[in-house]
Amino acid sequence: MTLQSAGENSPAVWGALLLEAAEFVWPVSRHAVDPGSAAHVVAQTVSVRVSRLLRACAVLSDSGYAVETAGLVRSIWEDAVSVAYMAASPDERCQQWIDFAETRRAHQINWALARPGGLDAETLTMLKDAATDATVSARPWWSGCTPSSMAAALTGSDDEFTALLARDFVSLYQTLSDDAHGSPFALEHLLVAHASAAFADVGPDGVRNDDLAGLALYGAWQLVHALSRLGEAVDEDPLRQLVGRAHTLIRGATP
């Protein structure tokens, strides 16, 4: 599917753009994850995740359920902010990101120990041994602060695009969170008032394909830029061009 053959602002156009971006971030044919520094491990792991998020957005967009991609788009932006935050102090923060998996695992083990239920003695002993002297984190964020706090710390970055990412994140995050969490404010558009009744349609509608797909592409570009600041050798131009094509589509659809 190409932009020219799809025509207009159809879901298929946005799905094609999202898949093209996903293939650039991490090709579907690539299976090997290379060993390397903490920064390299972070870059590859996050790239795989964002590629999958973009592909999931493409499937929903093609199916006419673009609104339901809001939570996925928010995750792409969160990953972009996380990587940009790591890039500001890569040696320390990339290792912190990797170590966070162990601190969260220790928290889960302690949670299980507090609720042994039907666990047998051998399993309980194994869990207690695993939890001994382990560093524990009950916080959901690897950095110890929220994505909004990480973005706020990046607003004064000397890198133009990192500062732009931070400012845009602050302005967009609440709206994407409203969609993701089912805020009544965000869900009003699902109901159509008619006389004394309200009507709902749970079928595909293609609503907001343009803005959400465009934000997914823009977030992916910001991620790739952050990866370059993390020390990865990546070419930003392909995603920059996809963002430009999305911008042209959106402008063409604006009355």
Query: Which three-class secondary structure state does DSSP give residue 194?
Result: strand
Say what the pLDDT of residue 161 is.
94
The answer to whether residue 102 sits within a structural domain is no
The answer to whether residue 106 sits within a structural domain is no
The answer to whether residue 67 sits within a structural domain is yes
55 near 20, Cβ under 8 Å?
no
Compute the Cα dihedral for 18, 64, 210, 71 and give only its sign.
negative
50 near 25, Cβ under 8 Å?
yes
Confidence category of residue 124, pLDDT binned at 50, 70, 90? low
**Domain with 74 in it:** 3-97+155-253
| pTM, rounded to two decimals | 0.85
The answer to whether residue 121 sits within a structural domain is no
Say what the pLDDT of residue 200 is.
82
- The Cβ of residue 214 has, within 10 Å, a number of other Cβ atoms equal to 21
Checking if the pLDDT of 9 tops 60, the result is: no
The answer to whether residue 131 sits within a structural domain is no
Say what the pLDDT of residue 134 is.
57
The answer to whether residue 247 sits within a structural domain is yes
The answer to whether residue 69 sits within a structural domain is yes
Checking if the pLDDT of 1 tops 60, the result is: no
Domain count, the chain: 1
CB-neighbour burial class of residue 98 (10 A; exposed 0-12, middle 13-18, buried 19+): middle
Say what the pLDDT of residue 6 is.
39
Confidence category of residue 7, pLDDT binned at 50, 70, 90? very low
Of 107-121, 125-139, 183-197, least confident by mean pLDDT is 125-139
Say what the pLDDT of residue 136 is.
55
The answer to whether residue 79 sits within a structural domain is yes
